[in-house]
Amino acid sequence: MSLVNDMLRDLDQRQRQGSEGYTPVPTRKSGPSRLFLAIASLLVIGIVGFLLMDFLGLNKKLMTQTSPVAAVPEESVVPHNEPTFQAVSTESQQVPEAVNEDKSAAVANRISAINWMQTGPAQGHLTFWLDQTAPYVVHAKGSKQLDIELQSVDLAAAPPSSLGALLNGMDIIASDAGSRFRLSSAHDVEFKAHLKRDPARLQISVAQRLPDTATTPPKAEVAIQDQDTVPPPTTSASPPQPSPDVEAPDIAPAKPTIAAKPVEKPVQKKVQRRVTDASVVRAAKRLLGKGQTAAAQAQLERHVSQQPQALQSRYLLAQIYLAQADYSAVAQQLQHAPNNLSWALLRARAALQQGQPNAALQRLKAFPEGAAREDYLELFAAAQQQLGAHQQAVAHYVKLLELNTQNGRAWLNMGVSLEHLQQPAKARDAYQNALKVPTLDGAARTFATQQLQRLAAR
């Protein structure tokens, strides 16, 4: 309406003054529409609010991902029957030496299996099978102990029931950074950790150090007084007589000695140690290491008869029976055994020794997850070799040797299958590789040498 009024006033002024002296009346500029300003303001407020909410949500997500995991108390220890695990304080440990293997490893990682492989009378290795490779930290390392931790790795497997003759303990230490273990040995050994791929695993080699007799000084013989013997009390004492050629020093007169009362020996109470399945197994292994097989067998038989649920003692006892080819006693022990991978391997080994390769394969195929283990592949290949399936046997021996190239028996048996497949050149290479393994026993070394001589004579 204001615009119309301005036009009317302008027209009226023209009529009064004429067109020559016309001066237009200034019109008021119309501003932007209030509706447009309101819509623009709402859009700006919405964009700012959306960006603010997105920023706060991202910060909350980052705080959730980087929040520390609740620390596990030092006293909490993963329970297991063999061996007895105890939490260990690491306050006085040395500065750890970290090995950064895979910086892009995912946090979700676990230890799927742990197994011990005895590769010789004085060496072997402990393998931790992983979903994927992960860095590890060595907290302490000595001649009889190794404290090692796999970072950002969860423990989802039980420790092996047998640690061989070199290791006498494997403790699981509470840690909020991953899975930490302490390995101990009663011998002077050398620990070496190797992180391997395809499949992912941490392999800890344990080798006993041979004493250097040439540089070891003889021990001095020291006479030790029997602490239980109390010298008789003296009733008098006289000062020593000086020599006539030497001026005697001033010596105070000796005081009369009071007869000493007889010292009573302290009564020592005998601590009754609790007999556990793990302690019986360790004692039996010590006897086996000394060659006292009969004593170890008797000890295990007595404990198993008293404790039928002592599975570790029963497992070692079944191995002793199997080494003696006492298959009826082995079958009796296997009747009360659980149905898992460890006992399936023992059942398969017993079947192979009795010339039943089909039964052995049936036992092994029931647990396909064992295909990443050396002992599983060795039994599988041996069963196929007994059945005459040498092509499949060679394939499994190749997989086994990919895990451990120092398995002399695997090289030897693969050479036998290669000869059956009419591949003498490859068989010769296999026998030569077997002889390169330092832990190959004398009988196997003699066999490999004879096979090489026979192939060379062709």
CA distance 427 to 456: 11
Predicted local confidence at residue 351, as pLDDT: 94
CA distance 296 to 186: 19
Predicted local confidence at residue 95, as pLDDT: 37
**Which stretches of the chain score pLDDT less than 70?**
1-5, 7, 14-33, 54-107, 210-273
Predicted local confidence at residue 265, as pLDDT: 62
State the first-to-last Cα distance of the chain, in angstroms, to the nearest integer: 123
The domains of the chain are located at: 97-208
Residue 284, Cβ density class (10 Å: 0-12 exposed, 13-18 middle, ≥19 buried): buried
Q: Which strands, in side-by-side order, build the sheet including 169-173? A: 97-99, 136-141, 145-151, 178-184, 169-173
Q: Which amino acid is at 297?
A: Q
Give the number of other Cβ atoms within 10 Å of residue 287's Cβ. Answer: 17
Residue whose entry in the numeric block shows the structure tokens 């403790």: 171
Residue whose entry in the numeric block shows the structure tokens 């030092």: 74
Strands 123-130 and 136-141: unpaired
Q: Which CATH number fits domain 97-208: 3.40.50.720, 3.20.20.60, 1.10.150.240, 2.60.40.3500?
A: 2.60.40.3500
Predicted local confidence at residue 165, as pLDDT: 74
Q: What are 443's two structure tokens? A: 């009988």
Q: What are 233's two structure tokens? A: 């009390």
Main-chain dihedrals φ then ψ at residue 416, nearest 5 degrees: -65, -45
Q: 115 has which bridge partners?
A: 127
Assess whether the previous peptide bond of 68 is cis (omega < 30° from 0). no
Predicted local confidence at residue 89, as pLDDT: 39
| pTM as predicted | 0.43
Give the number of other Cβ atoms within 10 Å of residue 112's Cβ. Answer: 17
Give the number of other Cβ atoms within 10 Å of residue 241's Cβ. Answer: 7
Predicted local confidence at residue 264, as pLDDT: 60
Q: Can you state the angle between helices 374-387 and 408-420, rounded to 10 degrees?
A: 20
Predicted local confidence at residue 35, as pLDDT: 78
Predicted local confidence at residue 257, as pLDDT: 52
Predicted local confidence at residue 434, as pLDDT: 94
CA distance 136 to 98: 6
Residue 100, Cβ density class (10 Å: 0-12 exposed, 13-18 middle, ≥19 buried): exposed
CA distance 277 to 403: 32
